[in-house]
Amino acid sequence: MDRKAPAQRPTPAAPGCAECVRLDNQRRAAELDGDLSRAVDCRVLLRRHRAAAHPGGEQ
């Protein structure tokens, strides 16, 4: 049985933040490569970064 992870809207990159953009670009590249494990890792890292560096921002 093939199972696919539920589609989740990625955490958006904060405007003007180079780290957010870097992590989002890595996530997109991983998705294009079919490396869903790495894509999820990037999503988690971006979410953690946003919480630490941009508190009170849209999550």
Domain ranges of the chain: 18-53
The conformation of residue 43, written as its DSSP 8-state character, comes to H
Q: How does pLDDT run along the chain (59 residues), one tens digit per residue? A: 455 554 667 778 888 999 999 999 999 999 999 999 999 999 999 999 999 999 886 54
**Given this model, what pLDDT does residue 16 score?**
92
**Given this model, what pLDDT does residue 35 score?**
97
The conformation of residue 14, written as its DSSP 8-state character, comes to P
**Given this model, what pLDDT does residue 1 score?**
45
> For the chain, how many residues are written?
59
**Given the structure tokens 């919480």, which residue do they identify?**
51
**Given this model, what pLDDT does residue 26 score?**
97
Q: Is 8 exposed, middle or buried (0-12, 13-18, 19+ CB in 10 A)?
A: exposed
